[in-house]
Amino acid sequence: MKSIFLNKFNFDSSRSEFRSIYVDIVKGVAIISVVLLHTNFQFPSSHYMPLSSLLGWMWHVAVFFLIGGFFINESKLIQPFFFIKGKLGSLYKLLLYFYIPVVLLHNFFIRIGWYDSLTDYGGKYMGFWDLKQMISMLLQTFCFAGREPILGAMWFVYVLFLALAGFSIISFVLKRLIQNDKQYEWIRFITLLVLCVVSCTLTNIVGFTIPRFNNTMTAMWLIYCGYMLRNKFQIAFDNIFLMLASIIIIYHLASIYGEVHLNQNYYSDVITLTVGAIAVLYFICYWAKRLEQSLIGKFLAYCGKESFYIMALHFAGFKLVTYVLNWCGIDRPLSALAAPVDESGSIMLLYVIVGIMFPLFFMYLFRSCKALIKK
């Protein structure tokens, strides 16, 4: 069993550029950053060394959105019916496989202590649901408004789906209206940029934010930028001088502007968000290309390929660690959503390892059982 699980890290280096290993490595680095920063460990930080921003708060979600544009096919993009239908199967339906059971288990999670009525879960407090509330929450889940804490990180998938759908519809409409390819691309660029500027202004100046709407406009812009980098500009991510320049840009923006929170659509401005995300993407891609054949590179790529499941299940992995710590006499609140590591670096590391490995092992067992049933 162990050897079979380890073989999951072996990738075919001859596969096409369409599914480059380095892209999976980038996703792996980003998802590990997500898990790391979902602990409540207080990283030493100052204006001169903004560690939490550098470790991910400045970039990890934005980089995921950039990667989301890498493999978009223009001919499919301008056919929104088929494009969105494909995303319904690959994103939306997969999301519901997790959300529906979790909503149905809501009261059970309260009974076993995973939730309580005193903990603030992002502005939401948990209580027992009756049948009417359960049905209401299921309907909200289908309407892109699911907010179960244990799947809190999955807001990203909702927004990714909506942003891809919006990008497709905008591209379709503009393509029908504009026959000249250069004009079409320029007007699409301006349209998505304006939408992102409006989104940023509404949230960060006006103070008006509609969940799953404002950040969808931001995500569309980032997805478009990723699409252009990969498909139009064909950036190779192999220039050492651009990599060094990226380091300078990353440090400067992190020290001046600090964290980005795309869940709340919070960021200073569109230019800083875009330049910072692209700089981090370039830096990680540069080194990812050099790690493709290494063991660490293969592991990171495996994490990247399984990033959806790590995003969905790492909070559950945190709960398992808390059970073990409490059993060992190290008291930690089971109802806490972020891993309650306090000031312990070793406990933080334990939470991160389990937060990554539990989803991988869970999906391995699930697929193995599914394969046995099919036999």
Burial of 156 from C-beta contacts in 10 A (0-12 / 13-18 / 19+):
buried
Domain assignment of residue 179, given as a range: 2-374
pLDDT digits (tens, 9 = 90+) for 233-292: 999 999 999 999 999 999 999 999 989 999 999 999 999 999 999 999 999 999 999 999
**Can you give the pLDDT at residue 12?**
43
Is it the case that residue 160 has pLDDT exceeding 60?
Answer: yes
Please, what is the average pLDDT of the chain?
92
Which tokens in the block code for residue 307?
Answer: 């990033």
Burial of 13 from C-beta contacts in 10 A (0-12 / 13-18 / 19+):
exposed
Looking at per-residue pLDDT, the higher value among 17 and 183 belongs to 183
What's the CA gap between 39 and 58, in Å, rounded?
16
**Can you give the pLDDT at residue 11?**
45
CA distances from 301 to 94, 251, 360 (A): 21, 26, 12
Which tokens in the block code for residue 224?
Answer: 């478009």
**Total domain count, the chain:** 1
CA angle 125, 307, 122 (to 5 degrees): 15
pLDDT digits (tens, 9 = 90+) for 341-354: 988 899 999 999 99
Which tokens in the block code for residue 256?
Answer: 């001046």
The model's confidence at residue 3, banded by pLDDT at 50, 70 and 90, is very low
**Can you give the pLDDT at residue 19?**
56
Looking at per-residue pLDDT, the higher value among 254 and 9 belongs to 254
**Can you give the pLDDT at residue 170?**
98
Is it the case that residue 4 has pLDDT exceeding 80?
Answer: no
Q: Which whole number is the average pLDDT over 289-301?
A: 96
Nearest to 157 by CA among 149, 170, 146: 146
Q: Which whole number is the average pLDDT over 180-197?
A: 97
Kindly report each contact of residues 17-23 with a partner whose C-beta sits within 8 Å and lies 24 or more positions away, as own/partner: 18/71, 19/71, 21/288, 21/292, 21/297, 21/298, 21/301, 22/237, 22/285, 22/288, 22/289, 22/291, 22/292, 23/67, 23/70, 23/285, 23/288, 23/304
Tell me the torsion sign for CA atoms 215, 218, 224, 225: negative
Q: Which whole number is the average pLDDT over 130-136?
A: 93
pLDDT digits (tens, 9 = 90+) for 10-55: 444 344 444 589 999 999 999 999 999 999 998 887 888 999 999 9
pLDDT digits (tens, 9 = 90+) for 328-337: 999 999 999 9
